[in-house]
């Protein structure tokens, strides 16, 4: 079978499979799962067929409560039904999930796992939502990458039909849902061959049917309820076997072989980690790195978290293991340990292994090889339970100690980082670049796009990796070959060149003349450039964009410059592919737009200039002062580091314990990101006052005032 590879994100991977196996999707989109519902809806509108030759029926409800109720109803009516959700959305589905599981209705919920709102809301990823569903009776399947999201979704859809137990298939919100990787796209013909139609018929036979009326959703009294609850045991007992059976079948058909618990690392490891989701990828990468350096460590990837098979876990752990750290991506205040820890600890009661539990990655907090190394170190030393990793808990001192920064990425990966401005087209252009490279070379690609909840108007950082092997690094770029800065106002504010490697490349969009560029960088940047022998390029992308009629949209210019300098593809091939992509994207808006962009490509190619680097520093850009000296502690300790994108360094002691924070701090956020500053034209002002409403910082305020009071007013006229 010819393999079909494509650069897609995790949401697309899950939707591709959910669509294949479902007749109905009842949805209520929520971040970061929204693209799943929206994509399913769009595909359905386009008439795409599932593996049974049907078009998916997509129903959007008034809330996740209604969506899950519709799923329950559709399943009762015998329609294979799915849904997509996360976080608070999943919370609203819990009551119906108990009913769906109680009635043994096969379905797969696809969840891009996301934090719950506690101290504060967060749209980012962790497992606190899915862990809240662990008592519903749903089977829980965890994927660690985009490929696994697709593969395990197939296995879930197959296993639910045979086991009659409903499944929840989850993957890490943002990290997997929004990351792009080149993965094998499974064709519907192959999926169709995997389905056992007798289980579809079994499901249909149990549907409500006026010809054979049965009653359900009734009430039970103390006399029989308990017996009814125990009647499901035998189905749950065999579910792990059924899942493994389909994992085997999948391996025979497709090639990748999964197990309920997959072990990787030294066969004689003494220390191992156990976790779920994307952490398993980074851990595997790190374990390989450490073992190459002579350590004997390993890791377990949990694939099927519920029903939890103690037997399968025990048999996956080498006899040699003496210490285990169990990593939970959730927090349950007041518990003795988080859920996966409790399960592992209980499952291994009969083995003489020291087991400790820790928390990592809450709300998409980074989880890197360096942190993983610190956990193995922790096992060697303090080995305390209830540790945290990735933060500085200076209050209850739970954090593991970082003793050594390591770079566990395999050789030969090219790493490129792009600093953009939300809505400037940088992220879109980078997604485009990944697809160009992914779909036109043998290279594996990965793109992850970091942005804050400001979305449009905030900072965006695109993290791109290209390499010859599948990419397991589920974390941001630390060592970078190429840095592009699309917004010169970030200089001095953010650590733009942080992590750039010796001999790396720096591409700058600025309106400075090329020989002025160096003097406009901060001293720290200048030192880095000189010491690390960085090649610096400059381009006035805004001028070109404006000149060819693209206004502020600098993305085509910067994309061309990236391909020209990075050498990922031969220059002429790159330019041809960029132009093809432009044609494909814009032809629906007319040849004129295509021409403008093509012109931008040609102009960029010509305008790019290398910046001469002096041997020593003569003049540097000043560092803007963000927070006044008299500001209160919260602004200094929390707001200022966040403004510098150093929020990860804020220790626990500086955070409010109850989420309450001072008001009026936005006034400190003088970002200077606009290339133009508006001027008030008094002669045109009709005093409609809309500017007051529109200004997000309340820099413009309306006052009603007597003429005479203005006598002593300062002069605000333009000069």
Site for its own copies in 356-385 (CB under 8 A): 359, 361-366
Q: For the chain, how long is the longest CA-to-CA vector?
A: 90
> Binding of its own copies at residue 674 (CB under 8 A)?
no
Q: How far is the CB of 178 from its own copies (least distance, A)?
A: 13
Stretch that binds its own copies, among 178-186, 256-264, 273-281, 335-343 (CB under 8 A): 335-343
Q: How far is the CB of 8 from its own copies (least distance, A)?
A: 23
> Binding of its own copies at residue 75 (CB under 8 A)?
no
> Binding of its own copies at residue 614 (CB under 8 A)?
no
Among 70, 112, 115, 559, binds its own copies (CB under 8 A): 115
Among 237, 623, 692, 699, binds its own copies (CB under 8 A): 237
> Binding of its own copies at residue 511 (CB under 8 A)?
no
Stretch that binds its own copies, among 47-55, 210-218, 369-377, 478-486 (CB under 8 A): 210-218
Site string for its own copies, 416-445 (x = CB under 8 A): ------------------------------
Among 13, 20, 71, 101, binds its own copies (CB under 8 A): 101
Can you tell me the distance from the alpha carbon of 65 to that of 83, in angstroms, rounded to the nearest whole number? 12
> Binding of its own copies at residue 239 (CB under 8 A)?
yes
Site string for its own copies, 444-483 (x = CB under 8 A): --------xx------------------------------
Can you tell me the distance from the alpha carbon of 521 to that of 503, in angstroms, rounded to the nearest whole number? 18
Reduced to 3 states (helix: H, G, I; strand: E, B; else coil), residue 250 is: helix
The enclosing H or E element of 430 equals helix 426-440
Q: Are 108 and 169 in contact (CB under 8 A)?
A: yes
Report 557-596 residues binding its own copies (CB under 8 A).
Answer: none
Of 531, 493, 524, 503, nearest to 671 by C-alpha is 493
Q: How far is the CB of 90 from its own copies (least distance, A)?
A: 10
Among 23, 332, 439, 609, binds its own copies (CB under 8 A): 332
> Binding of its own copies at residue 672 (CB under 8 A)?
no
Q: How far is the CB of 555 from its own copies (least distance, A)?
A: 24
Question: How would DSSP label each residue in 290-313?
Answer: HHHTT--EEEEEESEEES--HHHH
- Give the Cβ contact number of residue 713 at 10 Å: 8
> Binding of its own copies at residue 128 (CB under 8 A)?
yes
Q: Are 270 and 135 in contact (CB under 8 A)?
A: no
Report 308-327 residues binding its own copies (CB under 8 A).
Answer: 308, 310
What is the residue whose two structure tokens read 């956990």? Answer: 375
Stretch that binds its own copies, among 3-11, 436-444, 582-590, 656-664 (CB under 8 A): 656-664
Can you tell me the distance from the alpha carbon of 112 to that of 130, in angstroms, rounded to the nearest whole number? 9
Instruction: Cis check for the bond before 307: say yes or no (omega within 30 of 0).
Output: yes
Can you tell me the distance from the alpha carbon of 620 to that of 629, in angstroms, rounded to the nearest whole number? 23
Characterize the bridge pairing of strands 180-184 and 139-142: unpaired
Q: How far is the CB of 397 from its own copies (least distance, A)?
A: 10
> Binding of its own copies at residue 696 (CB under 8 A)?
no
Report 626-645 residues binding its own copies (CB under 8 A).
Answer: 638, 642, 645
> Binding of its own copies at residue 116 (CB under 8 A)?
yes
Residues 6+ away with beta carbon under 8 Å from 382: none
Among 21, 124, 562, 598, binds its own copies (CB under 8 A): 124
Of 616, 571, 407, nearest to 502 by C-alpha is 407
**Burial of 201 (C-beta count, 10 Å sphere; 0-12/13-18/19+):** exposed
């Amino acid at each position: 079978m010819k393999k079909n590879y494509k650069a897609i994100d995790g949401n697309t991977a899950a939707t591709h499979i959910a669509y294949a196996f479902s007749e109905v999707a009842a949805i209520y989109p929520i971040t970061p799962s929204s693209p799943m519902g929206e994509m399913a809806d769009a595909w359905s509108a386009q008439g795409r067929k599932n593996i049974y030759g049907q078009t998916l029926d997509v129903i959007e409800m008034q809330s996740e409560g209604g969506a899950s109720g519709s799923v329950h109803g559709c399943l009762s009516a015998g329609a294979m039904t799915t849904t997509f959700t996360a976080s608070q959305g999943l919370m609203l589905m819990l009551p119906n999930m108990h009913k769906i599981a109680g009635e043994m209705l096969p379905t797969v919920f696809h969840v891009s796992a996301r934090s719950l709102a506690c101290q504060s809301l967060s749209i980012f990823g962790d497992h606190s939502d899915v862990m809240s569903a662990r008592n519903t009776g749903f089977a829980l399947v965890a994927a660690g990458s985009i490929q696994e999201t697709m593969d395990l979704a197939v296995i879930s859809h197959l296993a639910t039909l045979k086991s009659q137990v409903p499944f929840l298939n989850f993957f890490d919100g943002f990290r997997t849902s929004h990351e792009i990787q080149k993965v094998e796209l499974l064709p519907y013909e192959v999926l169709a061959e995997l389905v056992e139609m007798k289980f579809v018929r079994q499901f249909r036979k149990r549907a409500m049917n006026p010809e054979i009326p049965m009653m359900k959703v009734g009430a039970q009294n103390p006399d029989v309820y308990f017996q009814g609850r125990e009647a499901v045991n035998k189905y749950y007992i065999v579910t792990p076997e059924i899942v493994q059976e389909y994992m085997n079948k999948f391996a025979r058909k497709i090639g990748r072989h999964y197990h309920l618990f997959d072990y990787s690392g030294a066969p004689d490891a003494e220390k191992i980690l156990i976790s779920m989701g994307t952490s398993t990828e980074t851990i595997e990468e790190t374990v390989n790195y450490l073992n190459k350096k002579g350590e004997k460590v390993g890791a377990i990837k949990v694939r099927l978290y519920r029903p939890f098979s103690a037997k399968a876990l025990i048999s996956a752990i080498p006899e040699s293991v003496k210490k285990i750290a169990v990593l939970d991506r959730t927090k349950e205040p007041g518990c003795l340990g988080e859920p996966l820890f409790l399960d592992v600890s209980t499952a291994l009661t009969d083995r003489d292994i020291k087991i400790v539990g820790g928390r990592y990655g809450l709300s998409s907090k980074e989880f890197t090889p360096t942190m993983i190394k610190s956990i193995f170190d922790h096992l060697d030393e303090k080995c305390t339970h209830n540790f945290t990793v990735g933060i500085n808990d200076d209050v209850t001192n739970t954090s593991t100690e970082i003793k050594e920064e390591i770079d566990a990425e395999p050789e030969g990966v090219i790493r490129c980082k792009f600093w953009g401005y939300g809505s400037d087209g940088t992220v879109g252009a980078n997604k485009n670049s990944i697809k160009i490279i992914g779909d036109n070379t043998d290279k594996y690609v990965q793109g992850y796009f970091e942005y804050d909840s400001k979305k449009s108007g905030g900072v965006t950082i695109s993290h791109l990796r290209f390499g010859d092997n599948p990419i397991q690094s589920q974390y941001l770029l630390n060592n970078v070959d190429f840095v592009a800065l699309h917004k010169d106002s970030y200089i001095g504010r953010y650590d733009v060149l942080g992590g750039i490697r010796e001999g790396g490349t720096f591409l700058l969009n600025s309106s400075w003349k090329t020989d002025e560029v160096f003097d406009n960088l901060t001293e720290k940047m200048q030192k880095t450039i000189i010491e690390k022998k960085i090649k610096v390029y400059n381009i006035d992308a805004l001028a070109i964009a404006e000149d060819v009629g693209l206004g502020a949209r600098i993305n085509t210019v910067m994309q061309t410059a990236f391909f020209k300098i990075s050498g990922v593809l031969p220059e002429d091939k790159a330019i041809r592919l960029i132009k093809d992509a432009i044609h494909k994207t814009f032809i629906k808006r007319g040849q004129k737009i295509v021409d403008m962009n093509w012109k931008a490509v040609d102009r960029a190619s010509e305008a790019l200039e290398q910046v001469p680097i002096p041997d020593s520093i003569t003049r540097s850009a000043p560092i803007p002062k963000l927070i006044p000296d008299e500001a209160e502690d919260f602004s200094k300790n929390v707001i200022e580091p966040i403004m510098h994108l150093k929020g990860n360094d804020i220790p626990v002691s500086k955070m409010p314990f109850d989420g309450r924070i001072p008001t009026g701090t936005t006034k400190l956020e003088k970002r200077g990101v606009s290339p133009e500053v508006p001027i008030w034209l008094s002669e045109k002002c009709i005093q409609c006052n809309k500017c007051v409403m529109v200004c997000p910082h309340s820099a413009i305020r309306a006052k009603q005032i007597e003429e005479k009071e203005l006598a002593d007013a300062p002069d605000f006229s333009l000069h």
